[in-house]
Chain A
């Protein structure tokens, strides 16, 4: 997995590509987002456009980060899941728990509202 963070105003956009899987991938994502939380940025977007697969541990990591953000009064919105990743979010009904938007711009607007 590769991870890159871009700040659009006050919203961190975490761009993931490749695979989000148990172990180092989840640790890298958690660590990066925790740094944003530590800086007081609790409203963030996960851009999944480049993500090709996610396993159950990766899903659990996303849920945990969403919970942390919400508990702190913020939010986490997913942007642009495609293919297998989009199918898995629907299958697990996590698209009912976590807002999903087609693109990053809509996701930023959603997480700010």
Chain B
């Protein structure tokens, strides 16, 4: 495996202090994948929002339920999977937070933010229970040469 391709897995309790940890892991992985400061911030914020959704809505901040983050640094993309242990939900039933009648809502903007930060978003029920949020972001064009080892396997 090249040193700029890897899989990193982190599993944490559903508690706010661990959000920073997940965000930091995501940003570090993004740096390894060749993202600059803006890209790192996008990746970190997307993972943070996805993790908040899992902890808050799926787990009600029950620390006995865990959130798993899997970061995969692939040749062309950075993939982020966030897995929860909640009851699951139908994303098509979520209200559009940008509609005028919803602007006063104090929650419900997480997925909108995430969509703006990444190139791909897939949300599906896991066969074993819970939801899996899969995010992808294309790696910068020059990422493969960031270490000066392009082509080395």
A and B co-occur in one complex: yes
Residues of A within 8 A of B107 (CB): 56-57, 60
Q: Mark B96-112, 1 if CB is under 8 A from A, else 0.
A: 01101001111111101
Complex Cα–Cα for A92 and B99 (A): 9
Kindly report which residue of chain B lies nearest to residue A60, judged by CB atoms. Answer: B106
Interface flag for A88 (CB, 8 Å): yes
Interface residue range, chain A: 20 to 34
- Contact partner of A55 (CB less than 8 A), chosen from B17, B48, B103, B116, is B48
Interface flag for B28 (CB, 8 Å): no
Q: Are A97 and B104 in touch, CB under 8 angstroms?
A: yes
Interface SS majority for chain A: helix
Q: Are A91 and B112 in touch, CB under 8 angstroms?
A: yes
Counted as pairs of residues, one from A and one from B, with CB atoms less than 8 Å apart, the total is 58
Instruction: Report A's interface with B, CB cutoff 8 A.
Output: 21-24, 53, 55-57, 59-61, 63-64, 67, 84, 87-88, 91-94, 96-97
- Contact partner of B112 (CB less than 8 A), chosen from A57, A84, A92, A96, is A92
Q: Are B52 and A55 in touch, CB under 8 angstroms?
A: yes
Residues of B within 8 A of A24 (CB): 16
Q: Are A55 and B113 in touch, CB under 8 angstroms?
A: yes
With A22-B16, A56-B113 as known contacts, state yes or no: A63 contacts B105, CB within 8 Å: yes
Interface residue range, chain B: 20 to 34
Complex Cα–Cα for A64 and B106 (A): 6
23 residue pairs bridging A and B, Cβ less than 8 Å apart: A21-B19, A23-B17, A24-B16, A55-B45, A55-B49, A55-B113, A56-B49, A56-B107, A56-B109, A57-B52, A57-B107, A59-B109, A60-B105, A60-B106, A63-B103, A63-B105, A84-B45, A88-B113, A88-B116, A92-B109, A92-B112, A93-B103, A96-B100
Complex Cα–Cα for A33 and B37 (A): 32
Instruction: Report B's interface with A, CB cutoff 8 A.
Output: 16-17, 19, 41, 45, 48-49, 52, 56, 97-98, 100, 103-110, 112-113, 116
Complex Cα–Cα for A57 and B107 (A): 7
Q: Closest approach, in angstroms, between the C-beta of B15 and any C-beta of chain A? A: 9
Residues of A within 8 A of B110 (CB): 56
Complex Cα–Cα for A56 and B113 (A): 8
- Contact partner of B41 (CB less than 8 A), chosen from A53, A56, A92, is A53
Q: Are A91 and B113 in touch, CB under 8 angstroms?
A: yes
Q: Closest approach, in angstroms, between the C-beta of A24 and any C-beta of chain B? A: 8
